[in-house]
Amino acid sequence: MKKNIITSVEITDSHIKVLQSKILKGKTVVCSCDIHSIREHSDEEIEHVLVAVFEDKKILTEDIVLVISRRLAFVKYMRLPSNNDVEIKKMIGLQLVNNMPYSQDEILFKPYILERERSGYTKLLVLIVQKEIVSRYLKLFEKVGIVLSQVTLSSIGILNWFIYQESENRKKIKDAVVLVNIDVLHSEICFCCHDRLFFSRSVNYGSNDLSEGKIESLVEQICLSIDAYKKENMGPDIGRLKIVSDLPQASSFKDRLEDALKIEVAVIAPFTNVLCQKNMHFAGIKNFTGISLAVGLGLILSDIRGLVNFTPQEVHDNKEEKLRRMKWIRTLALFILAFSLLLGIFGLELYQKKLYLEQLKKRINEAAPEVRAAIDKKLIVEVLDKELKSRVFIPDLIDEIYDLTPEMISYRSLFLTGDNVFTAQGFSESGSSVNDLRANMVKSRMFKEVNLQFATRRKLYKAEVIDFKITAVLDDRKQD
């Protein structure tokens, strides 16, 4: 099953109703509807039906909401002198001690805030269920293999169905609306306005009682509920009443209520405005009449994360403990797997390195003769290089002198000693030419320690010339 599937399970005195919804193309649609009748309401009978349903649907751990019928719960309206949630909870506990036939250890209660007044008072409903009832259903589901984490009241399902209908109609009614959800054996009366439930009550009259002889009793119970709502000033004024049923008899019931209450009354079927998947499975629904699915529809068409939840805290604690334990087990398993993987990688690397080393040794042995020959050639080249570097290459020296010599210079002799001392003697018709020659030799990379030994004037025939002598040392570093 996909993760976006939400399942609601409603167990009444006469039937077990299982509905499912999922997201298709961004919209919530009902995808399954199963109804099974029960007679004895025993644990064995309920377990048998749940096994059949859950095995057929292959439901594992999707979001499942169990619905407790309103007739199995208590709803008390209170107005307490505090706006603090902790104080409110303590005050509720003190109030329930004197107003409930059960001890606090035997019940589960949830405050449902209606309004926080500026005066410091808070209006709220206290929703109360016996622990024994919740524990019974939790054990039944555990036998099926499902740990429930959401247990809510049928009134909350009707409220969510009302909110869904308002959103589909794209309008909000300012006054309170009385919803009369008619099921087979019981009917539930809810007072809703916008997104709040202001009061609810269950009466022992259902679709089987919409006959002329019993309809007056149901009308009377509705009138008594409205009178109690008004007397306690529980919420906004009542603007209209809606009968949630798809029975033909609901039309005459509507007329009777309009005469008795003098307010607008409408009949609306549970599946009104509800999208259903094509070829949806409607197991059992065609075989039953007078069954209302508004509670289950309201739950699967809404966000179940914000529901009033009667699941005991120890169930949540156990679930969190199991999740933590599973997390540790997964972490340990991942650690062992990672460690094994590292060992495997390390062993593989060692094996690969061993193979590579053997291949390398083989290649070294194969290349040894060539390496020895290359070493011998290298030694020969080094000897020749050293020998050649210690010698002066005369053509290079002559080319360098030729490039450095000005036009007015004439040489008588060029002499190079064994210790790389170079001597140049000659004459020039201009003294500046001698200086230029010396400057050029200083700049040259081939010479260092350039010295002008002498430069003397003398007459040569009718012209005057300058005899000169320049010495320098050849720079071995610049001959490479």
Domains of the chain, by residue range, sit at 6-311, 320-390, 394-479
Distance, CA of 219 to CA of 349 (rounded, Å): 85
Which of 3-7, 62-66, 138-142, 403-407 is least confident? 3-7
Q: Are 30 and 21 in contact (CB under 8 A)?
A: yes
pLDDT at 71: 94
pTM score above 0.95: no
Q: Which of 139-148, 281-290, 293-302 has the highest mean pLDDT?
A: 293-302
CATH topology identical between 6-311 and 394-479: no
Cα separations (Å) of 362 from 132, 323, 355, 359, 373?
Answer: 82, 57, 11, 5, 18
Q: What is the pLDDT of residue 477?
A: 57
Mean pLDDT of 442-465: 85
Choice among 90-104, 123-137, 273-287, 409-423 with the minimum mean pLDDT: 273-287
* CATH code for the domain defined by 6-311: 3.30.420.380
Q: Which CATH superfamily hosts domain 394-479?
A: General secretion pathway protein M, EpsM (3.30.1360.100)
What pLDDT is recorded for position 330?
87
- Taking CA atoms, 409 is separated from 130, 350, 461, in Å, by 128, 76, 17
Distance CA 88, CA 93 (A): 9
State pLDDT tens for residues 86-117.
999 999 988 888 888 888 889 999 999 999 99
Structure tokens at 474: 């050849």
Q: What is the dihedral of CA 321, 326, 329, 333, to 10 degrees?
A: -160
pLDDT digits (tens, 9 = 90+) for 176-217: 999 999 999 999 999 999 899 999 999 999 998 887 778 899
Contact between 458 and 467 under an 8 Å Cβ cutoff? The reply is: yes
In sequence order, which ranges of 145-214 are alpha helices (DSSP H)? 154-169
* pLDDT tens, residue by residue, 358-397: 888 888 888 888 888 888 888 888 777 766 665 656 788 8
3-state secondary structure of 206: coil
Cα–Cα dist 138/16, whole Å:
15
Strand (E) or helix (H) holding 282: strand 276-283
Task: State the pLDDT confidence band at 85, using cuts at 50, 70 and 90.
Answer: very high
At 1, the pLDDT band (50, 70, 90 cuts) reads very low
Q: Which helix (H) or strand (E) holds 328?
A: helix 313-389
Judge contact between 407 and 447, C-beta under 8 A: no
Tell me what percent of the residues of the chain surpass a pLDDT of 90: 41
Considering the chain, what is the average pLDDT of its residues?
87
